[in-house]
Amino acid sequence: MKFEVPARALCRLGSHRVLEPLGALPQNAWKLDARPVAFANEILCDVDALNIDSASFRQIVEACGGDADRIAAHVRALVAERGKQHNPATGSGGMFVGRVRHIGEALRARSDLKEGARIASLCSLTLTPLTIEEIVRVDMTTGRLWIRGSAILFESCLYAALPDDIPDEVALAVLDVAGAPAQVRRLAKSGQTIVVLGADGKSGMLAVAQARERAGPTGRVVGVAPDAESPGARLLSEHGYVDAFVAADARDALGLVAAVSAIVPELADLTVNCVNVAGTESASILCTKDEGMVYFFSMSTSFTAAALGAEGMGKDVTMIVGNGYAKGHADIALQTLREHPPLHRYFLERYGARNAA
């Protein structure tokens, strides 16, 4: 099936799919052309499930009063309006899993991808042309939506073949946050003190595992979450992934830094923010020593608040935007799961098929 190629030249970044405003790139465009047919430099996929990012799903749940039918209607309306899953309240999206239906002529030489392959997208839904025919079910626990629909991957888009040794549902949960463990692996150093906010979520747990490996026996890892008795928090404490766990709301900056400094008076060499709520920038900065580093993986982060907050506090810290991509991040994230049986079991129990059914 073909349709008329736009007057604008095909672009590897997908700008030819932008409808509003013309000249924008797909991520910051308001509306995309999501018609489910592949141009020469595109890949068309049948989509089975969307994994809405944690910050976005939390906001949608709150806006819809926790009602699954209203959530489904909200997402369908948003995608119909914008041609993509791009939450205007959080600016974030998620990822999809599906099967390759058609590969454009210019991309068929790619040896690593065949029609019919099962893949997970590794680029945000905020830039992915998406159509939804039906939302079959909404999982309120995981933020996953089972759908019938289609999506377009541009030439520049990243994707990963789903592994044979990890169930699709679990692989999707891991790949959705693959940037976090990969970036922590890159940033953390032996002997450091590392504080992870939102440590009991899926990105936080994988980040803690990498922090533990990289900090080594001479380093210290402190987990932070509202509930130290949550299943994830208990796992991290019981299996020695953290040296201490702080039960605190990261929106209470002064309360959190008091609790953290009681455990590590010198504060953190590296603070990793994996929360899914807004207003945690100040706490992340205050928990970090001068000339330390803050990695904001959270899509709830206001980088204006972070920059101006650090200035107002007189804190000389390096702050890193939570890029969801790092070279090899999919392999690193999946291997992190394989190498840590307690985490593997937890992800199977929480995100596996019997709980996703």
Q: DSSP letters along 254-319, please?
A: HHHHHHHHHH-TT-EEEEEE--SSS--HHHHHHTEEEEEEEEE--TT--HHHHHHHHHHHT---EE
Task: Give per-residue pLDDT as tens, 21-30.
Answer: 999 999 999 9
Q: How far is CA 31 from CA 26, 78, 81, 111, 114, in A?
A: 8, 10, 7, 32, 29
Q: In this structure, what token pair is assigned to residue 129?
A: 């042309």
Task: Give per-residue pLDDT as tens, 222-276.
Answer: 999 999 999 999 999 999 999 999 999 999 999 999 999 999 999 999 999 999 8
| Whether pLDDT at 354 is above 70 | no
pLDDT of residue 126: 96
Global pTM value: 0.85
pLDDT of residue 323: 80
pLDDT of residue 109: 80
Q: Which residues neighbour 220 within 8 Å (Cβ) at sequence distance 6 or greater?
A: 192, 193, 194, 243, 244, 264
| Whether pLDDT at 357 is above 50 | no
Of 3.40.718.10, 3.40.50.720, 3.40.50.300, 3.20.20.370, which CATH number belongs to 179-328+335-346?
3.40.50.720
Banded model confidence at residue 8, pLDDT cuts 50, 70, 90: low
The residue whose two tokens read 């995309």 is: 32
pLDDT > 90: what percent of the chain?
Answer: 87
Distance CA 266, CA 269 (A): 9
Across the chain, mean pLDDT equals 93
What is the average pLDDT across 331-342? 97
What is the average pLDDT across 68-78? 97
Q: Where are the beta strands (DSSP E) in the chain?
A: 18-20, 31-32, 42-52, 94-103, 118-121, 130-139, 144-154, 159-161, 193-197, 220-225, 244-247, 268-273, 288-296, 318-321
The CA-to-CA distance between both ends of the chain, in Å, stands at 34
Query: Is the separation of the CB atoms in 275 and 250 below 8 Å?
Result: yes
The pair phi, psi for residue 269, each rounded to 5°, is -70, -35
Task: Give per-residue pLDDT as tens, 186-207.
Answer: 999 999 999 999 999 999 999 9
Banded model confidence at residue 353, pLDDT cuts 50, 70, 90: low
pLDDT of residue 1: 40
142 vs 192 pLDDT, higher one: 192
The tally of CA atoms less than 13 A away on the side-chain side of residue 267 is 18
Angle at 202 between CA 196 and CA 206, to 5 degrees: 60
| Whether pLDDT at 121 is above 80 | yes
| Whether pLDDT at 356 is above 50 | no
Domain ranges of the chain: 15-162, 179-328+335-346
